[in-house]
Amino acid sequence: MPVSSEVDTTERPQDGSGTESLPINELFYSMQGEGKLAGIPSVFVRTSGCNLRCWFCDSYHTSWEPTHAWMSTEEIIEEVSTHTKADHVVITGGEPLIHDETTNLIDTLASRGYHITVETNGTICPDAAIDLASISPKLSSSTPTASKDPKGDGEWSEEHEERRIDMTALMHLVENYPFQLKFVVTSSADIKELNDIIERIRQQTSARVRNKDVLLMPEGQTEAEIAQKRAQVADLAMEHGYRYTPRLHVNLWNDEAGR
């Protein structure tokens, strides 16, 4: 359904009804591939647009080159309801919480009995009926340096680095919702920073952050790329008492769209 290259809210449809819309990159039925609920049949609602630019982003067309069609909240819910085998909805992106209307979508779906997982980078404080906040704080290895920038100009390097960790938002998320902290690991060099972030969270919040709430997953967009790193990441998880999470959708369908 992608129809536009920019997430420009001035393009939002105005039908006179006051109905709000969201830029939707994909809406599809599949299986949750990551985290505590891996393996659960789910409907994915992928919004377009992000406030960060990880060089390894596996949803390139929601961040570096955002594409989307505008759908009203009512249209999204109608489409979700056609997938009758799933009562689990994953709101993802990009960063879905940059859009104010995402909160209304979450609350409306929750009121209809759906379990809602929100995939977020942890830089925004929401107020919504979230059943599982799947928080993926971005490590310094995610910053698009000149040598790793997909566009080759390093334009986002400084902005990404400044934004990627927001402790106020992280505290809000872990204190107000059931959560998992899901880290993309590029190499063993990431573990010190990862441990430091977990320690900061534990020191600054009253919420209990258990080791089993911390999930490590290997960076990679294809099965071959993940295969090169998963054993090392699994070893790191065992060494530090964290959980390892597979990426089932990549294992099963590689980098096929809509999966």
Quick one: tokens of 89?
Answer: 């909805």
Token look-up 């080791």 returns 211
Which residues are within 8 A (CB) of 8 and not within 5 positions of it... i.e. 6 or more apart? none
Quick one: tokens of 226?
Answer: 């993940």
| Confidence at residue 257, expressed as pLDDT on a 0 to 100 scale | 58
Give the CATH class of 9-183.
Answer: alpha beta
| Confidence at residue 9, expressed as pLDDT on a 0 to 100 scale | 54
Q: Where are the domains of the chain?
A: 9-183
| Confidence at residue 47, expressed as pLDDT on a 0 to 100 scale | 98
| Confidence at residue 225, expressed as pLDDT on a 0 to 100 scale | 84
Three-state SS letters, 178-214: CEEEEEEECCHHHHHHHHHHHHHHHHHCCCCCCHHHE
115-120 and 132-135 beta bridge pairing: parallel
| Confidence at residue 5, expressed as pLDDT on a 0 to 100 scale | 35
| Confidence at residue 88, expressed as pLDDT on a 0 to 100 scale | 98
| Confidence at residue 149, expressed as pLDDT on a 0 to 100 scale | 87
| Confidence at residue 153, expressed as pLDDT on a 0 to 100 scale | 82
Could you tell me the mean pLDDT of each successive run of 10 residues in the chain, 259 residues long? Answer: 44 56 96 93 97 94 95 97 96 97 98 98 97 98 92 90 97 97 97 98 95 95 86 96 82 53
Quick one: tokens of 81?
Answer: 């309801």
Torsion of the alpha carbons at 158, 161, 164 and 165, rounded to the nearest 10:
-130
Closest by CA position to 88, among listed 44, 143, 48: 44
**pTM of the predicted structure, to 2 decimals:** 0.90
| Confidence at residue 93, expressed as pLDDT on a 0 to 100 scale | 96
Query: Any alpha helices (H) in the chain, and if so which ranges?
Result: 73-81, 101-111, 157-163, 167-176, 191-204, 223-227, 230-240, 248-253
